Structures are given as C-alpha cells and as structure tokens.
Amino acid sequence: MTFDLSVDNSQLGGPEVEALIASRPWWHRIEIRSGIITPGTKDTFAELETRIGLPERLDGQSVLDIGAAEGFYAFECEKRGAQVTAVDVLPAAESGFGLARSLLGSKARHLHGSIYNLDAAVIGEYDLVLCLGVLYHLRYPLLALDNLWSVCKDRLIIESQICDRYFLKQDQQVASLADLSPELTNASIAQFYPDAELSSDVTNWWSPSEACLSQMLTTSGFENRIYFSDGARAVFHCRKMERTALSARLAASEWDSVKRPTLLYD
C-alpha cells in the first residue's frame, strides 16, 4: 500500500502509521499519535523540558526553525499557536520532516537550504528564531549569526556545543578550561576541529566558550543571557537590538559585502 505524503495523513490508523515510521531512520523523537513515538536517537522531549526554555504559548507569532531535521521543535511551536517555517539542508522528503508533517496534519512550511541562504527580502522576519544544534557545524559562524539577525524580528534561542568543560586535548582526553589554566575560565576562546576530533563527526568545526559565544552574539546585534549550560552545551536566550556599537556596525558592513559580492570600478 502506498501513501501520498504531500497531503494530510493524520487520520491513518495506528498500524499504518507504525509501518511508515519504521520505513526510515529517525533523529528526533516525535509523538505522532498517543503512544506512537518515532524512535529517534535524540531525546527531544527531555531536552525541551530541561534545556531550551521554549515559551509556553506562541499564539499569533511567527517562528523560524533553522536546522529543523525531522521537525520536533517546529511542530512543538505549532502546537503552541505559532505559524512555523522550518529550514534544513535536507529536503523534507529526505529528512523525515515531510513524513512527520503528513502524519501530524501540520501546516508548517519547509524550506530546503542552509542558514547562509536566509534572506529577509524573500522569507521575511520572524518573531522567534530557533537555531538549535547548528552553530558548531558551521565553518563561518559569525556570518551565520549576522544572517540570523537579518531575519529575526525580536527573539533568538540558540543552542550550541561549548568548550568550557569539554576542551579536547591532543591526546583526545577531555578537560575543562579551568583545569588547563585558571586564566581561561572566562576567556573568550573557541576550539577548532580541523577533522573529526569532536564525536568522530567531520561536520563539527567550532566549539566556543560561553564568553566567546556571548560576545559573538553581542557583536552580531543580540542582547543575550545564558538560559542553560552544563559546560559542554549551552542555550542562550537573545533579543535583537539596534547595532549601535562600532563593532556591530562593522560586522553589518562586512555582512553586506559578503551577501552582495560586487566589485565596482571607480
């Protein structure tokens, strides 16, 4: 039996839903029906409860979920009343987002692209932007933060790997910055992974310290505070602000040059 996953399949029976879920691997755990949960390796329910700090209600607000994967957070925001747009480097049919959306009867939009493709002139600005588990996968994190500023109307929640208590030494043993040197405890530094040093994953590039990520956010135009940190992962709750500081204005100018790489004879 075949199913059209481009339409609402929220009325399918339990056995049919379970068969569709079993047809692909999952990263997110998503409750599709009461008692039917996708077997994701990432415990999204526990993370939502203890780390993220998503507002209880988002009625009438627009949400942009970047790096949405199968869409747990996108669908969660929709449940809380938001109009949601999800972005991922995989098409919806490949990531599992399309299947989950169909089974849930969700109206969330999905855009195939990266954080670098965001353009407010095309997709608009959003009341709340989510960037969860994305930043440390990027070779150009400051460019990404500047791009987030351009599509964020008010709030940003960002989650990332950090190195405060997870600094990889040359022998691949883990140390805290304080263990390495007391002077590094509040230092604005980032560890770079040129290969697969972090979790044997070649897509992991950077791990900033809490202080470094906070200052990166500030120079990109976000007032920010730590919401959660265990020394290896951190969540910042941010508010968009006017770029009045010289560093922020220089960042905006550089971002504009990168986004519009035009050379003119004069």
pLDDT (tens digit per residue) in 220-259: 999 999 999 999 999 999 999 988 777 777 777 777 777 7
Query: Domain check: are 161 and 243 in the same one?
Result: yes
CB < 8 Å & 24+ apart, contacts of 176-182:
176/231, 177/209
152-160: average pLDDT: 98
Domains contained in the chain, number? 2
Query: Domain check: are 67 and 146 in the same one?
Result: no
**Average pLDDT of the chain, as a whole number:** 92
- Residue 119 placed within a domain: no
- Report the pLDDT value the prediction gives residue 257, as an integer from 0 to 100: 79
- Report the pLDDT value the prediction gives residue 261, as an integer from 0 to 100: 60
User: Picking from 56-65, 185-194, 203-212, 257-266, which range would have the lowest pLDDT averaged per residue?
Assistant: 257-266
- Residue 131 placed within a domain: yes
Look up the pTM and report it.
0.92
The residue from 89, 113, 137 where one domain ends is 113
142-170: average pLDDT: 96
Q: Which domain holds residue 211?
A: 125-266
Over pLDDT 70: what percentage of the chain? 96
Residue 103 has pLDDT above 80, yes or no: yes
Residue 93 has pLDDT above 90, yes or no: yes
One-letter identity of residue 109:
R
Residue 264 has pLDDT above 50, yes or no: yes
Query: Domain check: are 30 and 68 in the same one?
Result: yes
Q: Is 30 left (phi over 0), alpha (psi -120 to 50) or beta?
A: beta
Query: Domain check: are 139 and 182 in the same one?
Result: yes
Query: Domain check: are 133 and 33 in the same one?
Result: no
Query: Domain check: are 105 and 187 in the same one?
Result: no
Q: Which of 63, 216, 78, 45 is nearest to 152 (CA)?
A: 63
Using 50, 70 and 90 to split pLDDT, how confident is the model at 131? very high
- Report the pLDDT value the prediction gives residue 11, as an integer from 0 to 100: 85
Residue 197 has pLDDT above 90, yes or no: yes
115-134: average pLDDT: 95
Report helix, strand or coil for 158: strand
Query: Domain check: are 223 and 245 in the same one?
Result: yes
User: What are the residue ranges of helices labelled H in the chain?
Assistant: 14-21, 44-47, 72-79, 92-95, 97-104, 120-123, 141-151, 177-180, 210-219, 246-259
151-177: average pLDDT: 97
Residue 1 has pLDDT above 50, yes or no: no
Query: Domain check: are 213 and 263 in the same one?
Result: yes
